[in-house]
Structure 1
Amino acid sequence: MLMQNSGFDSYQSVDLDAQAASANPHQLVLMLIDGLLDELIRVKGHIESKRLEAKSKGISKCMNILIGLDSALDIEAGDELAANLHDLYEFCIAELFKASSENKAEHLDSVEKVMKNIREGWEGFGQHA
């Protein structure tokens, strides 16, 4: 069983690398948001199952994605939109910290809701760009 999971994980990694290599910046943002949303699901399971080390690693992955998204913002050129996204990313990071320190999955629900809304807007923006 371990061998099967290892092979599948390798396949997923190669597939993701290939997608990222051919993606434009808009698609990369969507991929990052999707990765964050997927990891949130895993973190919820880790909290519910009291797998604290795995929870911490998952929270760290989510925070790193948010930090990456935030660092890509151009606050000066993006004006109010970029500033609002920055505030939302900061809110999500704070909620992730609370989820980690309190071991409460409901903080993850807030992050999920915000990021799904951002994803929806970003996806809509891509259709009109």
Structure 2
Amino acid sequence: MLNEHDPFNAYKQTSINARAAAANPHEMVRMLLDGLLEEIQRAAGFMQRKSFEEKGQSINKCLNIVHGLDSMLDLENGSEVATKLNQLYDYCSRQLVIASVENSTTALIPITKVITDVRAGWANLN
């Protein structure tokens, strides 16, 4: 298992930090969506291995990413799209909690579908 003292992990984190610092808001959302999909996969692996502490940390990361995505929405000046994304992010947050409580990889499937669809739509904005 990688830890914070692992050179590869440190390199990867530095690379992510550099990309985030240089990213425009559109790229930042794409990076967050990609990171969320990766973290959901990690959470599923922890669930399967019954690694409850790591699962909890992973679900917490997922929730933080979803909340970060939601906080980027401009609901007052945004369009119906912002409102719909807000609703989808709320659904994902609730579903992540259910998946964690039930230790259910099946409960992660609809979240992955929603975020994959949002990611595909976001990619079409280029």
Q: TM-score range by the shorter chain?
A: over 0.9
Alignment partner, residue 38 of structure 1 = 38
Gap runs ≥5 in structure 2: none
Alignment partner, residue 19 of structure 1 = 19
Instruction: Kindly indicate whether the alpha-carbon contact (under 8 Å) linking 2:2 and 2:9 is maintained by their aligned counterparts in 1.
Output: no
How many residues are treated as equivalent by the alignment? 125
Provide the TM-score with structure 2 as the length reference: 0.95
Alignment partner, residue 63 of structure 2 = 63
- Say which is worse superposed, 76-85 or 49-58, in terms of deviation: 76-85
Alignment partner, residue 108 of structure 1 = 108
Gap runs ≥5 in structure 1: none
After superposition, the CA RMSD in angstroms is 1.5
In 1, the alpha carbon distance for the partners of 2:122 and 2:42 equals 23
Alignment partner, residue 85 of structure 1 = 85
Amino acid at match of 1:32: L
- Following superposition, the deviation at residue 2 of structure 1 comes to 6.6
SS of the equivalent of 2:70 reads helix
> Identical aligned pairs, as a percentage?
43
In 1, the alpha carbon distance for the partners of 2:79 and 2:119 equals 19
SS of the equivalent of 1:39 reads helix
In structure 2, relative to structure 1, the CA distance for the partners of 1:116 and 1:2 (3 Å cut) is closer
Amino acid at match of 2:49: S
Q: Are residues 1:47 and 2:75 paired?
A: no
- Say which is worse superposed, 70-79 or 99-108, in terms of deviation: 70-79
In 2, the alpha carbon distance for the partners of 1:60 and 1:2 equals 18
In 1, the alpha carbon distance for the partners of 2:59 and 2:31 equals 18
